Amino acid sequence: MTVDEYASFQRANGLKLTRIDDIWWGEVRPFFFRPLLPYTEIIPNSKQYPFKSLIGGVKHVVPSGEKNNSNMNYFVFDDLQRYSLKRVKDKRRNEIRKGLTNFSAKRIENVKEFIDEAYDVYISFYRRTQYNYLKERVNNKYFAAWATNIFKYPQMVIIGAYHHNKLSAVSISYLIEGVIFYATFFSDAESYKLQVGDFMIHIVREAASLTDAKCIFMGMVTGQKSLDNSKIMRGCKLVKMPAYYRLNPIALYFAKALMKHSYKKLIGLT
């Protein structure tokens, strides 16, 4: 996907976006902005920031050697072309083999098939995790609208994992400027116990090894130990990039005084 196509996709999903010059800024919290591609390097104050950020704030990665006051932390799989099951640590390799025994993988290319089969999987996933991001998708109408938006972009790689010919999990990935985003994964509760998560990551990494992509972006550090540690245990690399943040002085005061965890997350200490 091009960055503009990705912006169009995310905007249709409800993310508020502002383009200034050549940078897309996402309003990831009310009045707080980050580049749509979170690893985008910007020299502090060299670009115009979104006007609304004066109320809240802004954060972005900076080039090496530039002024910084924080870190941007995220997970990746790198060295993609050298990946093979033989190179995975023993315990994790056994988990993947368990997944390979229980599941088969197929690319889903029909939106009706996706809506009909994936909705129940998503509901099971929601009940297990209470995943709050865009939780309106538990309503079938909103789930169908989300699915329809996904299938507008043929660059999306939508993979289904099947157990006894029944859809059990879904992953959605896309390639932007040499980076594969492992953007969405959900599974039903039974398949989660059968290592479908390890199976799906293996399928994507194996496919990525045949490309010239630089890395697989696995998301930001959340500060939730169980979620972050699950990525580290699967072999993700933790990347810490020097970053710059600017926050409204009043918001900064309250963050330091009353929202210490959020402040630590802002400056990259989590």
| 75 pLDDT more than 70 | yes
Q: Which residues contact 250 (CB under 8 A, 6 or more apart)?
A: none
**CB-hemisphere CA count at 13 Å for 21?**
8
Give the pLDDT confidence score for residue 106 in this predicted structure: 96
Give the pLDDT confidence score for residue 61 in this predicted structure: 97
Q: Which residues contact 242 (CB under 8 A, 6 or more apart)?
A: 61, 62, 64, 66, 68, 70, 71, 72
Element (H, E) at 161: strand 157-163
Q: What is the pLDDT of residues 228-247, one digit of tens each?
A: 999 999 999 999 999 999 98
Strand partners for 98: none
| 135 pLDDT more than 80 | no
* Residue of 22, 68, 116, 24 lying closest to 240 (CA atoms): 68
Q: For residue 41, what are its two tokens?
A: 């390097």
Identify the residue whose tokens are 């690399």.
237
Q: For residue 244, what are its two tokens?
A: 């710059």
**162 DSSP 8-state letter:** E
- Cβ contact 59:245 at 8 Å: yes
Overall size of the chain counted in residues = 270
Give the pLDDT confidence score for residue 269 in this predicted structure: 63
Give the pLDDT confidence score for residue 179 in this predicted structure: 97
Structural domains of the chain sorted by starting position, each given as residue range(s) with its CATH number in brackets: 3-72+241-267 (no CATH), 84-208 (3.40.630.30)
Q: What is the pLDDT of residues 174-217, one digit of tens each?
A: 999 999 999 999 999 999 889 999 999 999 999 999 999 999 99
DSSP 180-203: EEEEEEEE-HHHHHTTHHHHHHHH
More confident residue, 253 or 90: 90
* Residue of 196, 204, 41 lying closest to 125 (CA atoms): 196
Identify the residue whose tokens are 């996706």.
114
| 38 pLDDT more than 70 | yes
- Cβ contact 17:25 at 8 Å: yes
More confident residue, 136 or 119: 119
- CA 152-168-229 angle, 5° bins: 95
Mean pLDDT of 45-52: 91
| 264 pLDDT more than 90 | no
Q: What is the pLDDT of residues 137-165, one digit of tens each?
A: 889 999 999 999 999 999 999 999 999 99
pLDDT band at 259 (very low <50, low <70, confident <90, very high): low
Q: Which amino acid is at 222?
A: T
Strand partners for 187: 169
| 248 pLDDT more than 90 | no
Distance (Å, rounded) from C-alpha 234 to C-alpha 204? 13
**136 DSSP 8-state letter:** G
